[in-house]
Amino acid sequence: MHDAQPESPDRTESPDLVESEPPVERPKSAYQLPTKQNTVLRNILWAIVLTMAVVIVLAIGFFGVGSDLEREPLENSEVDVAATAERAQAVAEFPVAVPVTGEEWEVRSARFTDGQSPAWTVQYTSPGGALVTLAEDGEISAPMLSAELPGASVTEETTLDGADCQVLTGGDSGADRLGIACEGEGYGMLVHGEAERAELEQLMSEALAAVG
């Protein structure tokens, strides 16, 4: 008869002594990982934003805010009158005048307006520093005089280089300007401004020679 074995003690460990496995860290989302590709893309976007900001600041500084239709041309800017006249002559029904002026005459602008009333207009700074305009159309018409020399009235009939001309005065805002209008076969030209008569006659003579 075997002796009764003593009951084994309870081997259940205390909960405080049970070792638990460390929590497994979940991998971060690909969107959260600062990959090299994301860093490069972010740097490119910042570079684009900074470049655009610099361009805008430079544009505002150079051109100003908004547009100014009365802004004077930049000094030493060159206007290719001959090239503009060549394009105008392709559609104009009158001989487009390109006066051969000396260096003392500075060209400020040259343009051709097409449509029902085509017109060729060149603006100069005269040797005396005045703004002088040469306007040409198929004839000297009332609309042309009204647009170029409002309230124009004839003060003298004259002849210049064989062409029949008129000396005019007119202008708006109370500032009278002198003008010389000459007509030839298929064209009418008007030179006007606040310059001396001798300067207006000089420019008109060169314009008549250009279409003669």
At 197 the pLDDT is 95
pLDDT confidence of residue 114: 84
Q: What is the identity of the amino acid at 143?
A: P
Spans of the chain below 70 pLDDT: 1-38, 57, 59-78, 173-175
What pLDDT score was predicted for residue 173? Answer: 61
Q: Say how many CA atoms lie within 13 Å of 99 toward its Cβ.
A: 29
pLDDT of the residue at 26: 56
Contact 190, 204 (CB under 8 A): no
Sequence spans of domains, the chain: 28-67, 81-211
pTM over 0.85: no
H/E element, 87: helix 81-89
Q: Pick 81-211's CATH classification: 1.20.1250.40, 3.20.20.70, 3.30.200.100, 3.30.1950.10.
A: 3.30.200.100
pLDDT of residue 95: 94
pLDDT in tens, 8-66: 444 444 444 444 455 555 555 444 555 666 677 778 888 888 888 777 767 665 444 33
Distance between CA atoms of residues 132 and 129, nearest Å: 9
